[in-house]
Amino acid sequence: MDTHRKFLKLETGATPVRLIALGFTSDGRQLLTRGGKGFHGSGVFFRPASDFFTSLASCISMAAVASPTVLNPKTTHYEWLGPPGAAFIVTSLPLVVLGFNAICDATSCSMLDAAAILSRVPDTLRSSLAHLPLAIGIEVAWLVFHCVLYLLPIGKRVKGTVLRNGKALTYNINGLHAFVLCHVLAVLLHFVFRPVLLFGEPFDLSQIADLFAPLAVAALLLSIVGSVILYVASYRSSKVLLALGGNSGSPVYDFWVGRELNPRIGQLDLKFMCELRPGLIGWSLLNWAFVASAYNNGNLTLPLVLVAGFQFWYVLDALIGEAGNLTMMDIVHDGFGFMLCFGDHAWVPFLYSLQAKCLSVVRQSHPVQIRGSAPLLSQLVGQLDLYTGVCIALHVVGYIVFRGANTQKDTFRRDPSDPAVAKLKIMKTSAGKSLIISGYWGICRHPNYVGDWLMTLAWSMLAGGYVIPFFQPVYFAILLIHRQLRDEGQMLEKYGAEDWKRYCSHVPYRLIPYVY
Ligand code: NDP
């Protein structure tokens, strides 16, 4: 790797005085700062006394020259096929959300309707208009509610990784509280208080399912407006820390990947708050809304309850480990632009809930008999057959691999001497960090992605012979392969070509042993 380094370390006698240490790769993609998690580097060392003032002067002039170009180097390396690719993605992804809404509506959920998609999308938009103001109100209130919850002085406050300006931001870790509160509120509103909130009738979660299309359109509009505001706001000062990949100067490209790294309003970190809360918790609640809807329509089945239960658990699991997400690519590398804003607010809740939506809409051959004599639970358990058992087993295997791999890596990164990981084989790198090369991380280079994908496959299989729910594993495979390639590119930069080659010889497969 051709690396230009402007790395300065001042030592005065026995006590080293570290002033600033900056470096960046020739294409400006990665800056290195002093010490700190996620950074590495070696430097030119200036000895005390005689060199001190010279060093200080160069440091100051370097800082002057550095700002803002060194802090925010121009992005010269494009991903996503550059600006044309970004323009295509920005226009097509909202159409995908609308398209699936149109072919999987309140009456049917069949790929056979895909042929009529061109007429059904405008129909969906037209029929959403009547409830659009209400839906926009709900979406805005939902977002504000989560901002307020984030700011409440509950939960832990945890420092994130050291940024390239040498600072580390503090984050509120109370997503789990938000998750529990939202679900408890939903249960109380549905079963106990039943206030008249929507359609002039006592509240029932199925009313949210009835509003699905207007809510999806509202989420789309809000994520577009939000991304425009974020993009414009990123120009407010030259001191704003930008994402290394989002400062190309191409408006469409930077709008898509996100320009500002950590947009904040006071303590409120917009990117981190949105990453796991409004969208993921909303996804789980939408699923339960479809369960309520199926129950009301006499269409409730075990697979639907399992899908809602498994995805509820998936979101809960993510929020239990919320602090672990501070090292995720999205938080560390990506700016907050349309990619994450739209993904969090529109894509995840309104496409990931397709399996539950399909199962609640499509008339099932053996729904539970709500007014029958046998209790609901025993009727649901009575529906367990071999096929459903295989789906459950696949989900469990996927979850064990996903959770096991993530926990193994997180534990190792926190404390390599922890007895749970101390026996794992590791490979030392010249950057100082070690990489695990046995256990889950010896099977392939991203076992956590494989486990994650297996779960989406199990959820889609639960939807029986319907094609539409398989959209998630297909799309997710593309996302994870792209993510794996991006991550490996970043690891190559972090660890250097030689160590990367060595690591690949220890762990030759990316995702599937002997295949890929
Ligand atoms: P990872 O959690 O896999 O993090 C990648 C980082 O892990 C690398 O950059 C490297 O960082 C470290 N690492 C990689 N290999 C090793 C090794 N052998 N030993 C030690 N450290 C290693 O990826 P993500 O942040 O992308 O994903 C986190 C989770 O979120 C995943 O389980 C993923 O499936 C899930 N996810 C789910 C999505 C959804 O829509 N449901 C979307 C995106 C992600 P370093 O060396 O610097 O520590």
Residues 208 and 201 sit within 8 Å (Cβ to Cβ) = no
Q: How far does residue 230's CA lie from ligand 1's centre (Å)? A: 26
Q: Is the CB of 325 under 6 A from ligand 1?
A: no
Peptide bond connecting 251 to the previous residue in cis, omega within 30 degrees of 0: no
Mean pLDDT of 486-512: 93
DSSP bridge partners of 104? 109
Instruction: At 233, give phi and psi (nearest 5°).
Output: -65, -25
Residue 197 structure tokens: 């909130």
pLDDT score at 396: 98
Q: How far does residue 328's CA lie from ligand 1's centre (Å)? A: 6
What confidence category does residue 432 fall into, taking pLDDT thresholds of 50, 70 and 90? confident
Residue of 399, 409, 443 to mutate, ligand 1, most atoms within 8 A of C-beta? 409
User: What sign does the CA torsion over 171, 324, 231, 67 have?
Assistant: positive
pLDDT score at 58: 44
For atom 1 of ligand 1, which residue has the closest CA?
328
pLDDT tens readout for residues 442-465? 999 999 999 999 999 999 999 877
Q: Is the CB of 311 under 6 A from ligand 1?
A: no
What confidence category does residue 367 fall into, taking pLDDT thresholds of 50, 70 and 90? confident
Q: Whose structure tokens read 């959770």? A: 403
Helix crossing, 302-320 with 175-187: angle to 10°?
150
Range from 26-30, 261-265, 509-513 that averages highest in pLDDT: 261-265
pLDDT score at 23: 41
CB atoms within 10 A of CB 457: 19
pLDDT score at 371: 67
pLDDT tens readout for residues 295-348? 998 889 999 999 999 999 999 999 999 998 998 889 999 999 999 999 999 999
Shortest CA distance to 403 belongs to which of 499, 324, 288?
Answer: 324
Shortest CA distance to 312 belongs to which of 270, 355, 365, 345?
Answer: 355
Q: Is the model's pLDDT at 28 over the cut of 90?
A: no
pLDDT score at 515: 86
pLDDT tens readout for residues 31-85? 333 333 333 333 333 333 334 444 444 444 444 344 556 789 999 989 899 999 9
Q: What is the pTM assigned to this prediction?
A: 0.85
Residues 459 and 390 sit within 8 Å (Cβ to Cβ) = no
Residue bearing the bigger pLDDT, 156 or 111: 156
pLDDT score at 490: 87
Residues 223 and 229 sit within 8 Å (Cβ to Cβ) = no
Residue bearing the bigger pLDDT, 361 or 249: 249
For atom 16 of ligand 1, which residue has the closest CA?
435
SS3 category, 38: coil
How buried is residue 192: exposed, middle or buried, by Cβ count under 10 Å (0-12/13-18/19+)? exposed
What confidence category does residue 105 fall into, taking pLDDT thresholds of 50, 70 and 90? confident
Residues 6+ apart with CB under 8 A from 385: none
SS3 category, 23: strand
Q: Is the CB of 38 under 6 A from ligand 1?
A: yes
Residues 263 and 169 sit within 8 Å (Cβ to Cβ) = no
DSSP bridge partners of 16? 11
